[in-house]
Amino acid sequence: MKLQLFIPLLSVIAVSCGPFPHQVMQEVTRDIPYNEVVKAPDACKGSTVLWGGVIVETIARSNDTLIIVRETQLDFQKRPRNTDRSAGRFIIRHQGFLDPAIYSRGREVTVIGMLDGKEERPVGDLLYSYPVMEARSLKLWEPWTDSPYYYDPWYRDPFLYPWPSSPRHLRR
């Protein structure tokens, strides 16, 4: 009986812990990868996709904000992973102001948005064709921090207590 109650409770908790609302996640067309959209951006126009990556540049304009993102794969939490690998770039168009100091170069972002064609912009001397999406839901991830003070909770120091045979006890 307890197991019958535990499994549904566990599934409700797992679904509710995602970075995006459940209603928005249901709108995502999962079968449209980034590579297909780059090949035919107009054929995929109007589809809702879930993409993520690393911010290259943020441009605040009068009515909206453009975020240029280097696409990467997503992990099980929908957070960008393998940030050194990319299939290309895309543009997020967000209605309203997003501070370029917060949405800065190198930050990881995941977005659910509707594809809205393509836009050509220069990357160095190259004219690059970016898929453009209208942001429906946007998640800016906290930067990774490596703590210099790692503590393994399962490690037990054998010399923690001053036993008679302890090397700490024998030191002078």
Tell me what pLDDT residue 35 has: 86
Place 102 in a pLDDT band, splitting at 50, 70 and 90: very high
Of 46, 5, 84, nearest to 37 by C-alpha is 46
Mean pLDDT computed over every residue of the chain? 80
Higher pLDDT, 6 or 146: 146
The answer to whether the predicted template modeling score (pTM) of the entire model surpasses 0.85 is no
| pLDDT tens per residue, range 149-162 | 665 666 665 555 55
**pLDDT for residue 12 is more than 90:** no
Tell me what pLDDT residue 10 has: 47
For residues 132 and 164, what is the distance between their CA atoms, to the nearest angstrom?
Answer: 71
In single-letter form, the type of residue at position 128 comes to Y
Higher pLDDT, 60 or 124: 60
Tell me what pLDDT residue 134 has: 95
Q: DSSP strand E in the chain: where?
A: 48-60, 64-74, 80-81, 89-95, 108-123, 126-140
Average pLDDT over residues 101-127: 92
CA dihedral 41, 46, 47, 49 (to 10 degrees): 80
Average pLDDT over residues 50-67: 94
**pLDDT for residue 61 is more than 60:** yes
The structural domains of the chain, with segments of one domain joined by +, span 19-143
**pLDDT for residue 78 is more than 60:** yes
For residues 47 and 153, what is the distance between their CA atoms, to the nearest angstrom?
Answer: 46
Architecture of domain 19-143: Beta Barrel (2.40)
Place 111 in a pLDDT band, splitting at 50, 70 and 90: very high
Alpha-carbon torsion 39, 109, 31, 20, what sign?
negative
**pLDDT for residue 81 is more than 80:** yes
Average pLDDT over residues 40-68: 91
